[in-house]
Amino acid sequence: MGIVEGDIVAFVGAGGKSSAILQAAGELAEAGVPVLVTSTTKMLVSEAEKVGPVLISEDREELRSKVAETLAGQGAAVAGSGILSKKRVDGVEPSWVPDLAPKDGVTLVEADGSRRRPLKGTAAHEPPLPHGATLVVVVGGIRALGEPVHEERIHRPEVFSELTGIGPGHTIDASAFARSLLAGLHNTPPNARRTALLAGVEPGRSMSNASVVAHGIWRAGVRKVVLSSLPNETPGRVWAL
């Protein structure tokens, strides 16, 4: 995905954000790079605990101190502002992220919600990107391609239809899929890099379909597109275009 030391990486979109964050966090930790995982929305406690200690505080300075101490000793941690019902970690304010981010490491931020759908219609006020984001990764689950527009597959299908012109019940084609992902990048900071991650890809027809979407995204100016078998496989296989 093009992640480098010092990055604040925002994951947006649908269909594989959490799996991508977990795999990236694991690879960074194995390489000895300090990694902080946080969110500007919400995370499941069960997923957060796979990264490292879950640090909670409603006070930014207290949370910053906890993060610095934990990363110095363990190398990986998750930061949130509280624990919600349904065993979820509440996110932090986007303005907190630069203060929490390790200067000699990488910060991975779940910066969007999709209710576990493979695709979403991104509203004008979304996604809640962290301040200081240096890389924005938009994610889409390829299993939605070729399926009808329906709330079972798309978070906010009415917004998706407005963005793509594909109405309820009509088939999601490669062009509409690409447009919906590009919408997730609409408020990327001017100096931030952009990557698209197509999830749920397997060799064969799935990869062929994903490649058509990938080229549409590439032609629109996103020069790094990654195909991955996540979340179907953990760890996932990866193909970069």
- Can you give the pLDDT at residue 13? 97
Q: How far apart are CA 39 and CA 220, in angstroms?
A: 28
Q: In terms of Cα–Cα distance, which of 162, 169, 164 is closest to 147?
A: 169
Kindly give, in sequence order, each residue whose CB lies less than 8 Å from that of residue 31, ignoring residues fewer than 6 positions away. none
Residue 192 lies in a domain: yes
∠ at Cα 8 (76, 13), nearest 5°?
100
Please give the structure tokens belonging to residue 200. Answer: 């749920």
Q: What is the pLDDT of residues 31-74, one digit of tens each?
A: 999 999 999 999 999 999 999 999 999 999 999 999 999 999 99
Q: How far apart are CA 12 and CA 3, in angstroms?
A: 15
8 A C-beta contact, residue 54 and residue 123: no
∠ at Cα 16 (191, 161), nearest 5°?
80
Residue 209 lies in a domain: yes
Q: Which domain holds residue 135?
A: 8-36+104-240
Residue 161 lies in a domain: yes
| Ranges in the chain, pLDDT < 70 | none
- Can you give the pLDDT at residue 231? 87
- Can you give the pLDDT at residue 168? 95
Q: How far apart are CA 154 and CA 122, in angstroms?
A: 10
- Can you give the pLDDT at residue 83? 96
Percent of the chain whose pLDDT exceeds 70: 100
Q: Under DSSP, is residue 197 helix (H, G, I), strand (E, B) or coil?
A: strand
Tokens 């930061």 -> residue:
79
8 A C-beta contact, residue 105 and residue 29: no
Residue 54 lies in a domain: no
Q: What is the DSSP letter of 35?
A: E
Residue 61 lies in a domain: no
Q: Under DSSP, is residue 155 helix (H, G, I), strand (E, B) or coil?
A: strand
Number of domains in the chain: 1
Residue 221 lies in a domain: yes
- Can you give the pLDDT at residue 167? 96
8 A C-beta contact, residue 117 and residue 20: no
Residue 66 lies in a domain: no
Instruction: Give the CA distances from residue 71 to residues 64, 85, 120, 213, in Å, rounded to whole numbers and listed in that order.
Output: 11, 27, 34, 38
8 A C-beta contact, residue 106 and residue 74: no
The model's pTM: 0.96
